[in-house]
Amino acid sequence: MDKSSKERCIQCRLIIQDCICRDISAFWTEHKITLLTSKREERIISNTGRLLRCMLGNISPVYVGKKGWEKEVESEIARTDYTPVILFPTPPVCDGQKIIEETGKPLNIFVLDTSWRNARRWLRKPVLMHLKKVGLKTAPPSEYHLRKQAGGHYLCTFQAVTLFMTELRTKGFPSVSFQIHEKFTLWVKSLARERGLKITTTPSYQIGANP
Ligand SMILES: [Zn+2]
């Protein structure tokens, strides 16, 4: 039987037997995520932005290219309860922690959930150009073995966001990050198995691992 015709979970998109959604309750983070994505991206089974939306509560998608998307972005930027920033790994970047201390507000983190080539294009959109750029301080190896990345140090949306939440010392996050990470690992493994991919690298970094 064709693998694509197997019944899949509508959330994690794994075949039903492998579904990881049971006992997931989305964790509400103090920092908000505005997930810039596209309908095309969302349809891709290995998309990790969708996975992130199953696990985090304070997150809303904006579909780039959809009628009125720029207005949606503008109103997110205009919110007074958060400081808007954009997560992108190329220097120069600002220190997210410092921004929080200076403004006394949590962050509204814009995340580009697309291929790296597209992300670079989206970053230059006039409506996003003036956002403060933030990045990760640590650069662990990617644990996402499903799609070729443009460079070894690039992380998938899921890993980038969860690591950033950890670096920001997000309230309550340490107590859920281990479980979130475990689900992610399971999800990657299941998809890799489905595709007949062998994961040869052993992740050296684990959220919540002992120092
Ligand atoms: Zn599922």
CATH number of the domain encompassing residue 180: 3.40.1280
How far does the centroid of ligand 1 lie from the alpha carbon of residue 15, in Å?
8
- pLDDT tens for 3-37 read 556 799 989 999 999 999 987 889 999 999 999 99
**CA–centroid distance, residue 197 to ligand 1 (Å):** 20
Dist. CA 3 → ligand 1 center (Å): 16
For the chain, which ranges sit under pLDDT 70? 1-5, 148-153, 200-211
The verdict on residue 13 lying in a domain is no
Residue 201: its pLDDT value, please?
55
pLDDT given for residue 211 in this prediction: 34
Residue 130 lies in a domain: yes
Ligand 1 center to residue 58 CA distance, Å? Answer: 19
Query: Is 146 contained in some domain?
Result: yes
Instruction: State which residues form the domain around 178.
Output: 27-194
Count the domains in the chain: 1
Residues 6+ apart with CB under 8 A from 8: 14, 15, 16, 45
Give 105 Cα–ligand 1 centroid separation in angstroms: 34
Distance 45 CA to ligand 1 centre (A): 12
User: 162 lies in a domain?
Assistant: yes
The C-alpha torsion from 77 through 82 and 84 to 85, rounded to 10°, is -160
Is residue 190 in a domain?
yes
- Is residue 19 in some structural domain? no
What's the 24 CA to ligand 1 centre distance in angstroms? 9
- For residue 178, is it within any domain? yes
Q: How far is the CA of 161 from the centre of ligand 1 (A)?
A: 20
Asked whether residue 11 is assigned to any structural domain, the reply reads no
121 CA distance to ligand 1 middle (Å): 31
Q: How does pLDDT run across 91-108, given as a tens digit for each residue?
A: 888 999 999 999 999 999
Nearest to 106 by CA among 94, 116, 97, 93: 97
Q: How far is the CA of 53 from the centre of ligand 1 (A)?
A: 12
Per-residue pLDDT, 204? 43
